[in-house]
Amino acid sequence: MKNLTALLSGIMMKSLNCLLVASLFLAGMVGTSFATPTQWTTSAGGNGHWYDVVISSLSWTDARDAAVAAAANPASPDDFSHLATITSAGEQGFVASLVAPYTTPGDGGFKLGGFQPSGSPEPGGGWQWVTGEAWSFTSWGSGEPNNVNGGEGYLYMDERYGWKWNDYVVGDAYYNPKGYIVEYETAPVPEPSTLLLLGGSLAGLAFWRRKKTM
């Protein structure tokens, strides 16, 4: 009987350890798709907002909606997130430094929160930010915007232009941007599913070890 108990104990411990390892692995996977948000601190001349690099093939409109939903409480005006809006040279440089490690030459770029309402004069008229902030700073790549393929009313940072801006279509059929950038105006919270899985694994492991010592 003692041998059977010891065997079952060993199997249970291995199972819990495997679950813990899997939890940590999934936490790492979340960190790959959703990078750890980075704050542009006021002490460094920033706005105090947080920025998250997301690797995704979502269209611009779907990325816009996902960025808003990323806030812990999207319905609260005090908990606001959106596709990144870049309103100064300092912010341009900061965001470019965040996305650069996630790309290799030819990867395309990352969607930003700029767009052209339908019917705007082409190629440069009517551009605005999803937040309604003033469109006073721009960082277009050489020859951009140009609406070369038609319907290029959406903004992204282009790796080919040293992270300057390009206009592109709503989907990814032509330029294939690599992802998008979420800007949080308040500190974001970790992914709840990852926390629950990791917390459950640790709790189970602690309970089993405590039970063994009783």
Q: How far is CA 164 from CA 70, 111, 180, 211, in A?
A: 25, 12, 15, 59
Q: Note the pLDDT tens digit of each residue in 135-184.
A: 999 999 999 999 988 899 999 999 989 999 999 998 865 666 789 999 99
The mean pLDDT of 183-201, rounded to a whole number, is: 61
Q: Is the alpha carbon torsion for 118, 123, 124, 128 positive or negative?
A: positive
**What are φ and ψ of residue 77, in 5° steps?**
-65, -15
Q: What is the pTM of this model?
A: 0.73
Q: Note the pLDDT tens digit of each residue in 2-30.
A: 554 554 455 444 544 443 334 433 333 33
